[in-house]
Amino acid sequence: MNGTDLPRLQPKIRRVNLDTGRENVVVISRHSAALRPEIFRGFSRVELRRNAKIMLATLIITDDDSLVGPDDLGLSEPAFRRFAEPVGSAVTIAPAASPASLDAVRAKIMGQTFSAVDISAIIDDLTHYRYSDMEIAAFLISSASFMTNGELIALVDSMARAGTQLKWRNPIIVDKHCIGGIPGNRTSMIVVPIVAAHGLTIPKTSSRAITSPAGTADTMEMLARVDVGVEEMKDIVAACRGCLVWGGHVNLSPADDILISVERPLGLDTREQMVASILSKKLAAGSTHLLIDLPVGPTAKLVNEMEAMRLRKLFEFVGDHYGISVEVVVTDGRQPIGNGIGPVLEAQDVMAVLANDPEAPADLREKSLRLAAHLLEYDPKLRGGSGYARARELLDSGAALKQMQKIIDAQGPPTCCTDLGNLTFDVTASRDGFVSGINCLQLNRLARIAGAPIDKGAGIRLFKKIGDRVQQGEPLYRIHAFERSGRDLAAAGTTAYTIDSEESNLEATP
């Protein structure tokens, strides 16, 4: 045949200035000879190859030669970064085959269960960006209606092995984790210095906010640098026995971030995925003793004790399987913990507690002490039952503050500005009475509209908590924002507080 001798046409890669987030996107000219009939549609999935390197991407077609010429293939910024080949490299482009592991997902959809081998292959394909959004959704949904214990164990294992796996010389590595949902609640930033001051090792990595107004990493960033790599993190822990860094550069359980990027927009939130997400990260982090905080409240992630217990048992089951000591505490999630919501305001709360400031929020102090007490009990040298007293001693004496300062110095100075939003808006009580409920979901949403966590100084300062007496017109909370967000706040005027005339109408503590 005449045609076989023709060299296969290989476009040259170049960058196009398009930020396409987690998705790899490539742009091809409609006049490119490489645009074969099988892949002629916009938003087709395609496969780029250069030697042994393969990358999957979503295709966009253009007629605009100034964007991408007929002999070129434009890679969006994330695609260019992930492909990591020089500009001008020749590549082949072909329709993307579905990842092989998708067969198992199809079988699961039809009611089969995954083998450990299936799950390992799926997680491997996921972490190599071989799954499209809809394929990730297929995996998540196929697992959402039922997941066996065996599947869950295999999932945690595969996810934990997919990225960095930290090893520590110390036999006891303690850690804590909260499932989130409660505004404020920055206990880690108090627990870590207490526990490290005592002498236990607590290498804490935290996430940034995804749907909330602040994550621990966002808040810690007001005090110190948090973008720390694995080796530097090890040095900090060696020097301070603890750290408070962002997990993003440490690459623990990278599959988790990919799964979350699809779970969130779909609003999928299953127990099994939550357990896999948290425990895979903790396994990879080398934790041996883990405390998990499950807040329960009407606007928390868990709305009753029954839900909390089912989740607790799942954490315990998987923890036991891997020989991690997992302790689960169910806490009061009826309202925010602390007075501030948003990175700057939350950092102020934390430092006030550590500095024993008389104005410091008592609930944040008390909860932090209680959690620290649990962790300190893991120290074999400590007399059983004395964890709380020891935690309080470390906090009251200033040892925890000193330890925090040491951690801050080791991580380095913050790079962000910490001005509080100059645009303020007070929400006041519409009647006399007692605060009987605070809607955490509404406060989170409001703080985000105000600009948090992108605007570090945006957020909410609470003046009242549940049970407080209020008079009509008295401020309940103050919103801090900047000019650029202020215009969005008008629509967010509805109050997040419920006020009853009778003190006895307070919602029951869980």
Catalytic residue set: 269
What is the C-alpha to C-alpha distance for residues 209 and 311, in angstroms, rounded to an integer?
22
Copy the structure tokens of residue 229: 């790599």
Compare residues 20 and 442 and give the one whose CB is closer to its own copies.
20
Compare residues 408 and 449 and give the one whose CB is closer to its own copies.
449
Paired residues of 26 in beta bridges: 59, 75
Residue 451 CB, nearest distance to its own copies (Å)?
6
Please provide the DSSP assignment of 253-290 as one string: SHHHHHHHHHHHHHT---HHHHHHHHHHHHHHTT-SEE
Compare residues 229 and 265 and give the one whose CB is closer to its own copies.
265
Compare residues 111 and 323 and give the one whose CB is closer to its own copies.
111
Task: Give Cβ neighbours of residue 262 (< 8 Å, ≥ 6 apart).
Answer: 133, 136, 137, 140, 268
Copy the structure tokens of residue 104: 């198992």
Residue 386 CB, nearest distance to its own copies (Å)?
45
Residue 168 CB, nearest distance to its own copies (Å)?
34
What is the C-alpha to C-alpha distance for residues 465 and 338, in angstroms, rounded to an integer?
10
Sort strands 72-75 and 12-15 into parallel, antiparallel or unpaired. Answer: parallel
Residue 267 CB, nearest distance to its own copies (Å)?
6
Task: Give Cβ neighbours of residue 12 (< 8 Å, ≥ 6 apart).
Answer: 71, 72, 73, 87, 88, 89, 90, 91
What is the C-alpha to C-alpha distance for residues 229 and 227, in angstroms, rounded to an integer?
7
Amino acid at 396: D
Compare residues 275 and 407 and give the one whose CB is closer to its own copies.
275
What is the C-alpha to C-alpha distance for residues 456 and 462, in angstroms, rounded to an integer?
17
The CA radius of gyration of the chain, in Å to the nearest whole number, is 25
Compare residues 438 and 452 and give the one whose CB is closer to its own copies.
452
Residue 493 CB, nearest distance to its own copies (Å)?
10
What is the C-alpha to C-alpha distance for residues 237 and 252, in angstroms, rounded to an integer?
16
Torsion over CA: 358, 360, 366, 371 (sign): negative
